[in-house]
Amino acid sequence: MTSDDTGTTPTAPASDSPFRDERTARDEAPQFVLPLVVRIERAEPPARTDALETAARAVLVILSDERSLGDGEWAQVMRDWQDARIRKVVRRARGAEWRRAEALDGITVTGRGGAQVRVFPPVPLDGWPKDLARLQVSGTDLTDPEPPAAPDTTAPVLWLNPDLDMTAGKAMAQAGHGAQLAWWALSDAERKEWREAGFPLSVRTADPARWEPLTRAGLPVVRDAGFTEIAPGSCTVVAEGPRTGGALPGLGTADPA
């Protein structure tokens, strides 16, 4: 359940996007990972869509947390992470593993259906805390007990590529990338409004006939770096907003890694 992918910083030119599959100057910087841990108890695993949406919201929560901004205690490592490839890795935990993860510095986000995801400040690529490093990356997938309802189009919708077969963890990381691109596309006032509303969003698989038009519509697009599961340059997520023409303003297309 891993993704080593990236997006575009608010001020980065397209040629310097952290979400490109070719090598860029960002690869020369120290590399960091944003760890996310999803709680998957054996008897009560979360629904897949709830887990994806909760992971996306967790990314937004840490991006907007006061500790990540200005002179906050996480601000420097958040900047270092965003100056390099914007990697996210999702691991799973249950029981005592989850309790150990909750004891580490981070934020737990709970989904509308009860899914729980804990997000942590970025760590060096090869410097994971031992209680996170020991958690499994793969081995458990998630399903929806019934088809998800139609998305709420008054809030951002993160559309998944219908042609890609991604594990739950990979899809969670990709949804996090899409949420991050959507966040960067907004003005400060729009970000404040979204945060105060609790970051409403939907994650859905696009209709196959609509996917290609979405990728060409000038919306934020996540392109995978190809480190895990899928081919480099694959479009994984398109972030569609509730404003004019359905487009999020200001960003256009990002070429994630």
Mean pLDDT for 58-65 is 98
Q: Above 60 in pLDDT, residue 67? A: yes
* C-beta separation of 222 from 256 below 8 A: yes
- Give the residue, 77 or 241, on which the prediction is more confident: 77
Share of the chain above pLDDT 90, in %: 70
Note the residue count of the chain: 257
Q: Above 60 in pLDDT, residue 183? A: yes
- Is 85 exposed, middle or buried (CB count within 10 Å of its CB: 0-12, 13-18, 19+)? buried
> Is this model's pTM higher than 0.75 or not?
yes
Question: 2-136+151-246: what fold?
Answer: Bit1 (3.40.1490)
How confident is the model at residue 232, as a pLDDT? 66
- Give the residue, 251 or 146, on which the prediction is more confident: 146
